[in-house]
Each structure stands twice: as C-alpha cells, then as structure tokens.
Amino acid sequence: MNYYLGLDIGTTGAKAILINSSGEVISSATSEYLMYNPKPLWSEQNPEDWWKATQNSIKDIFKKSGIKNSEVKGMGLTGQMHGLVLLDKDGEVLRPCIMWNDQRTIKECEEITSLFGFDNLLRITGNPVLPGFTAPKILWVKKNETQVYKKIEHILLPKDYIRFCLTGEFATDVSDASGTSLLNVGKRNWADEILSVLDIQKAWMPEVYESIEITGKIKKSAAEKTGLNYETPIVAGGGDQAAGGIGTGTVKDGITSVVLGTSGVVFSHTNNLTIEPEGKLHAFCHAVPGAWHVMGVTLSAAGSLKWYKEIFGETEKQIAAEKNINVYDLLTKLAGEIPAGSEGLIFLPYLTGERTPYPDPDAKGTFTGITIRHNKKHFIRSILEGVAYSLKDCLELNKRLGLGISEIRISGGGAKSKLWRQILTNVFNTEIVTLITTEGAPYGAALLAAVGTGEYSSVEEVCEKTIKISESTKPAADNVKLYEEYYDIYKNLYQSLKGSFNKISSAVEKQFRQ
C-alpha cells in the first residue's frame, strides 16, 4: 500500500501525519516551538525552530508507524498563513518571522490602501489590506529595518520556508499566496501592478502553483535530517485554512466548515470568485484547482481558552496532571456546570485584535456584565460562548453574501469538546456534524499529495472516498432562544467600546515610547 505525509507548520508546533491510500491515519506527531511578543501587538517566531520541529516530527512518524520511507509516495505542506520570512542570497533567514497575528502594520495598511484605493484592492486581491497580511509587513521592514531590507533575495510564507529546507526550491501555492495582498486572486498569480508600485521585486517572490502540483523533491541533506526518502515528491499544498477545507471535504458549493483552532474560521467553498462588497470576508483561491473560498476569521478562538488556562488555570493544570487528564477537558467540564448564557457574563474574544467582521487591530478582549455571583466557571463558559458569538458573526456574513449553506462541518482542537460543539450549534441554530478524521489541515495536505502523485484523479474524488461523517449535534430549542437574546447584546458591545479600544492602544503606545 502507498502512504502519504502531511505536514502542518502551525502556530504552536509542527504536526506531521501519515495516511495510507485509503485515507486512514496511520500515525501523527507534533513538536512544539515558541512564539515571541517582544512589544505590544507584535508576534514573531524563528523559522529555524520550525525546521528543527519538522525534523523531529517526521522522524517520530517513522518511529511510531514502522513504515519504510520508500513507502511514502508523496508529501503535502500546509501551515499558518501571512507570515513574512525573509532570506538573503545564501538562503539564510534575515530576521524572525512576523506572524499572522502581528498587528504592528496599521500605518502601512493605510499607505497601501491610499496608493491603490479600497475598491481597486478588492477587485485585484479579493480583500482589504489587513495588518496580519504579508505586504504591509514588507513595507514595515523597509521603513524600520533598512539594513535587513537591503539584503532581501527571497520572500517566503512559513510552510514554503520548510519547502525550501526540504527541496531547495522557492515555491508557494495559490491559496497561501492569496493572503499576502500581492496576488491577483482572479488570475491566480502575482499582481504585477501591486509589486511594481510597492517596489517589491518579483524575483523575490516564489513561483505560484496550484495546490496539487509537484513543486520539488526531497534533497539528500534533508533526507538525512528527516528520515524521508531521497527524491520523495512534494506538492504545493495550501494555507492552513484551504488545506483544512480539503481535510473536511469542503470542496463543493453548499458545504461550510467551521475550524475551532487557535483562530476560528468559517469557510465556504465557491466555484466562482465571490467578493464581499465591504471586504468583511476573505476571498481566497481554494486548494481545489480553479475554485475559490470565502472565509471569516476570529483571531482568538481556542486561543482564548488557552490564554485563560495559561494565566488563570494553574490550579486546573495541577489537578489535570495529578489525575492524568486533559486540562481542557477539565476546564470545559467546569463550564458545563454553569447554565447557558453564563448568567449575563459576555466575553469579547479580541485578545489580539480582530479580523471579522471588524478588521481592527486595536480591538480588545473584555468581560462584560461581571457581578458578585460570577465565579471561575462562569468565566470559562463565557469564553466558549463569546467565541461562538464571534463565529456567528462570520456565518451571518457568509449567508448575506448569498452562499447556500446546506451542511456545516466542524474541526479543530476546540471541536473535541462536546459542550463547545453544543454551544456553537445552539448559537448558530443549525445542525453541525463532525468527521471520523479530525486532523484537519495536515490531513488535507496529505490528501493533496495523494492527488498530485496520481493515487486519485481529483481533489473531489479523494474527499468523496476518504472523508466520512462521525456524529451530529442538533440545536436545543430553549437555548437557541436564549442565545439569540445574548447575541444581540454581544453585537452591540464592539460598537460601544470601539472608541475606548482606540484610546487604550494610543495610551499604551505612548507609554512604551517614553
């Protein structure tokens, strides 16, 4: 039997999975790395850490599975989008990667928008320019780190840096490139007019491929470091959300996926390029050749619960360790002891700014409605509910765009929680299904490799034959009505607090300049 490997360069670690030609997951391994926040609104990682973690994860895969490297017929890459990796003429990293959730580039976004006009940018790139995207980060480096900028020879996205380490090739795919503000999403190639005006040399940019195309083969030095077979082919792969769309079978009109990971995503397939008129949703090329997707993003979804665990969950971490249980299972168990609505406690999950429907890097997380009755359990449940409200914001925009939503599929680490799934179902007032395979993006990357190397004839075929529904969660009528009332309150909070958020950011920035 043939085997295929998917590798995900995620926000917290490099995850590798191995599947067979039937789509069965044989083994998986994750190696973690750190994220750094050297200043307010900054998020960075060291690309060399990704490479070390990649080597460890792939070697662990072979140890766990017992599969010979010669049996692995192809590999697909996926990973966090938008990150800026800069290399010099020798292929050496020039500075830490500026990540997807970094919010330092507000002024650069304004500059790019003024140069091209908001409507023109939507027409070309399908999206407004946002602080998390890649183009404004390049301009920031040009203005603030001139010596680094002068040495640039190559610009890569996170997963594509690992591709370079594995193959020596400079390549990307259409879905990941869509998040740079430098791609013409209709033509599925670099937008020469934008590169020219921003003085970004096209020679710096990697070649753009469809996600199933082979972009290179494993070189000898990488084979020695990872345990992969020399000349194993690597397909282009996709950004984490597009690859996750493949991993959930979101490859035809009517299917929408919800990803409850570090960030939260509502993702709908479309056969035609569909752009939200105000730019509130992302319009990207899909990992399905010739297709696109529409996407709303909540920047801190399961990341909000992780934040709570790290800052306030020391007791729960100790209990979980003593009882040998997952700390998140313990946290959600506590949340389940509180009634729906958290007795009026409402959480805004804007811990790193927000993307949809408010592209606002100054947005802040808040707990509103605190009373003397509220305890730790209320705060945990309000986080689960606040993330659900934020994802409903995204879902409602998809509906208003006219996308028919016949089925919602959920994945991601947060989707393992039965309570969180039920909260989402009630807030959405829509049935949600889970899948037998829950690996998401790396699973999708492995499926893309199976198509690109000829095991299957198309993305649609591989998804139809490998992806199966596991269980369904249906809305509870009483809670649906309650959540509708609280959602109406939630929607008004951002508008009421926006001015205060901006003033807080200004005050903090002023403080750090002194």
pLDDT mean across residues, the chain:
95
Alpha helices in 313-454 (DSSP H): 314-323, 327-335, 376-400, 418-428, 441-452
Dihedral in degrees, nearest 10, Cα atoms 374, 375, 378, 383 = 110
8: helix, strand or coil: strand
**pLDDT tens-digit profile of 152-161?**
999 999 999 9
pLDDT given for residue 197 in this prediction: 96
Q: Is the pLDDT of residue 512 over 80?
A: no
pLDDT band with cut points at 50, 70 and 90 for residue 266: very high
Spatial distance between the Cα atoms of 121 and 182, rounded to a whole number of angstroms: 10
CATH superfamily of 297-436+476-481: ATPase, nucleotide binding domain (3.30.420.40)
**Cβ proximity of 218 and 229 under 8 Å:** yes
DSSP state of 430: S
Beta partners for residue 29, in sequence order: 16
Look up tokens 């990540």; give the residue: 99
- Using one digit for the tens of pLDDT, what is the confidence trace for 431-479? 999 998 878 899 999 999 999 999 999 999 999 999 999 999 999 998 9
Model confidence at 40, pLDDT cuts 50, 70, 90, reads confident
Q: What confidence tens digit (pLDDT) does each residue in 63-115 have?
A: 999 999 999 999 999 999 999 999 999 999 999 999 998 989 999 999 999 99
99-108 burial, b for 16+ CB within 10 Å, e for fewer?
Answer: bbbbbbbbeb
- For position 369, what pLDDT does the model report? 97
Q: Which CATH architecture has domain 3-247?
A: 2-Layer Sandwich (3.30)
3-state secondary structure of 375: coil
427 pLDDT above the threshold of 70: yes
Instruction: Give Cβ neighbours of residue 205 (< 8 Å, ≥ 6 apart).
Output: 155, 182, 190, 195
| 481-507 pLDDT tens trace | 999 999 999 999 999 999 999 999 889
Mean pLDDT across 126-141? 96
Closest CA to 128 of 279, 264, 13, 257: 279
End-to-end CA distance of the chain: 64
Catalytic pick among 102, 173, 240, 393: 240
| CATH 3.30.420.40 intervals, the chain | 3-247, 297-436+476-481
Number of residues that this document lists for the chain: 514
Give 177-239 as a DSSP string.
HGGGT-EETTTTEE-HHHHHHTT--GGGSPEEE-TTSEEEE--HHHHHHH-PPTT-EEEEEEE
| pLDDT score at 18 | 98
* pLDDT of res. 359: 83
Is 240 known to be catalytic?
yes
Q: Phi and psi of 328, rounded to 5°? A: -70, -35
Which residue, 280, 272, 501, 493, is CA-closest to 403? 272
Smallest CA-to-CA distance from 6 within 88, 69, 68, 61 is with 61
Rounded to an integer, what distance in angstroms lies between the CA atom of residue 293 and that of residue 274? 8
The helix or strand, by DSSP H or E, that contains position 65, with its residue range, turns out to be helix 47-65
Indicate the SS3 state at residue 252: coil
Q: Report CA torsion sign: 101, 103, 104, 108.
A: positive
Q: Is the pLDDT of residue 514 over 70?
A: no
Q: How many Cα atoms sit within 13 Å of 85 on the Cβ side?
A: 26
pLDDT at 308: 97
Band (pLDDT 50/70/90 cuts) for residue 331 is very high
Residues 168 and 127: their CA atoms lie apart, in Å, by: 31
Residue 57 scores a pLDDT above 90 = yes
Q: Which of 206, 204, 202 is nearest to 168 (CA)?
A: 206
Q: What integer pLDDT is reported at residue 157 of this predicted model?
A: 98
Rounded CA-CA distance 295/67 in Å is 37
Three-state DSSP at 283 gives strand
Tokens representing 170? 């400079």
Give the separation between CA 245 and CA 440, rounded to whole angstroms.
8
Q: Which residue has the tokens 């592209």?
A: 359
DSSP code for 171? E
